[in-house]
Amino acid sequence: MKKWWEEMILQTIQEVAKLFNVSTRTLRYYEELGLLHPERSTGNQRTFSKKELAKLKLIFRGKRYGFSLEEIKEMVLLFDMDRTGIQQLERTVEYGTLKMQEIDKKIKELTQMKEELQQLHNKFSTKLANLKGEMEDE
């Protein structure tokens, strides 16, 4: 079964922006950073190939997982340098390992924060109930 981006031949910047629900400025910015290399039509309009659409999918996946644009750029462009995909996969695994460690650290911090907040919440709820009880006794 073909992926959705494999069905598309060349898409204009407006079509790609709509497809990915981003602005054309975002796509131009990724081009400026060297993440994308759209082709140009005879009218000098940007057109995006299946390869560029696949890169965009990887870029947005990387952003969703919290990778920086520099990390994403390195991972995406490594395939152009090593067509076996080995270097790209090695770097992706390396960055993925670091990202998972970062996420684990954040989870621990958030868990501790939640526990502290729960203790304060319980303490304040008890104090509030006691104060309300004292007022009813008066």
Question: CA–CA separation, 128 vs 56, rounded Å?
Answer: 53
Question: CA–CA separation, 117 vs 114, rounded Å?
Answer: 5
**What are the boundaries of each domain within the chain?**
1-66, 82-138
Under a CB-based contact definition with an 8 Å cutoff, are residues 47 and 11 in contact? Answer: yes
Q: Does residue 5 register a pLDDT over 50? A: no
Q: Which fold has domain 1-66?
A: Multidrug-efflux Transporter Regulator; Chain: A; Domain 2 (1.10.1660)
Task: List, for residues 27-76, the tens digit of each pLDDT value.
Answer: 999 999 999 999 988 888 899 998 899 899 999 999 999 999 999 999 88
Task: List, for residues 87-117, the tens digit of each pLDDT value.
Answer: 989 999 999 999 999 999 999 999 999 999 9
DSSP code of 40? E
The amino acid at residue 5 is: W
Helix, strand, or coil (residue 39): strand
DSSP code of 66? T
